[in-house]
Amino acid sequence: MPLPDPSRRYPITLPDGSAHAGTVFLSEAIDHPRFQAGAFSYASDFEPPEDWAHRLAPYLFACSEESLSIGKFCQIAHGVRFLTSSANHSTDGLSYYPFPIFDPDNMEAFQPDTRDTVIGNDVWIGYGALILPGAEIGHGAIIGAGSVVRGTVPDYAIVTGNPGQVARKRFDDDTIARLIALAWWDWPVARIEAALPAILAGDIGALEDVSC
């Protein structure tokens, strides 16, 4: 089974031969200095935007001090939003009101929160999930629909709810350690294609054989 061409903006071809505009490879659709996405990571939307970076991360500006990075082979459903650190207000004073943003001479220098948001590889973020400033989501994690996520999500954890909590791990600790060691998402495309039967079957032993 061949992988789709990672250089295509629209990786899904419909039965009539047309491109499905509601799903894009982010590496080809995002043009933003503070937003990076790895190969094969896609986002879907029922109302495809002109500006995918703004739709997904509306508070991430070109002048922002933080960044949003998404690994390879991630899957982002309709309605997902990343509230990056530029959305945060200062909590040091007697009021949270962001007075400096109304002063053109000071507004760009005023950013009380500069934490990056980091999404690992092979992460599935479900419908309508909200990722809060500074979140770090580990490899292979699943973020359930409508979840509100902050802080650190372990590798291969399933997070649900508001506030988001780890419901369980996808695999036992030994299997997770083996998957992290394999890091199949960094393999050459031809090796990943050869490994797809093992990946789809959930056979980590066969995946390790392909890695040799």
How many domains is the chain partitioned into structurally? Answer: 2
Report residue 81 as tokens: 């939003």
pLDDT tens by residue, 11-65: 999 999 999 999 999 999 999 999 999 999 999 999 999 999 999 999 999 999 9
Q: Supply the residues annotated as catalytic.
A: 89
- The reply to whether 11 falls in a domain is no
| 91 and 176 inside one domain | no
pLDDT at 177: 98
pLDDT tens by residue, 79-100: 999 999 999 999 999 999 999 8
| 162 and 188 inside one domain | no
| 39 and 116 inside one domain | yes
Instruction: Supply the CATH number for residue 136's domain.
Output: 2.160.10.10
Buried b (16+ CB within 10 A) or exposed e, 179-201: beebebbeeeeeebeebeebeee
| 47 and 105 inside one domain | yes
| 123 and 164 inside one domain | yes
pLDDT at 110: 83
**DSSP class per residue in 98-130:** -GGGG-TTTGGG--S----EEE-SS-EE-TT-E
Q: β-pairing, 148-149 with 136-137?
A: unpaired
- The reply to whether 162 falls in a domain is yes
Q: What is the pTM of this model?
A: 0.94
Whether pLDDT at 135 is above 80 = yes
| 177 and 115 inside one domain | no
- The reply to whether 132 falls in a domain is yes
Q: Are 27 and 37 in contact (CB under 8 A)?
A: yes
- The reply to whether 10 falls in a domain is no
| 184 and 134 inside one domain | no
Among the listed ranges 58-62, 64-68, 105-109, which one has the minimum average pLDDT value? Answer: 105-109
- The reply to whether 2 falls in a domain is no
Whether pLDDT at 68 is above 80 = yes
| 46 and 143 inside one domain | yes
- The reply to whether 158 falls in a domain is yes
| 111 and 188 inside one domain | no
- The reply to whether 1 falls in a domain is no
**If you average pLDDT over residues 121-143, what whole number do you get?**
98
- The reply to whether 16 falls in a domain is no
pLDDT at 1: 73
Domain that holds residue 183: 172-212
| 177 and 85 inside one domain | no
pLDDT at 28: 97
pLDDT at 106: 77
Backbone angles phi, psi at 131, to 5 degrees: -105, 120
pLDDT tens by residue, 114-123: 999 999 999 9
pLDDT at 105: 83
DSSP H helices in the chain: 26-29, 52-56, 173-182, 189-201, 204-211
Computed over every residue of the chain, the mean pLDDT equals: 95
Among the listed ranges 1-10, 132-141, 156-165, 184-193, which one has the minimum average pLDDT value? Answer: 1-10
| 71 and 82 inside one domain | yes
| 78 and 154 inside one domain | yes
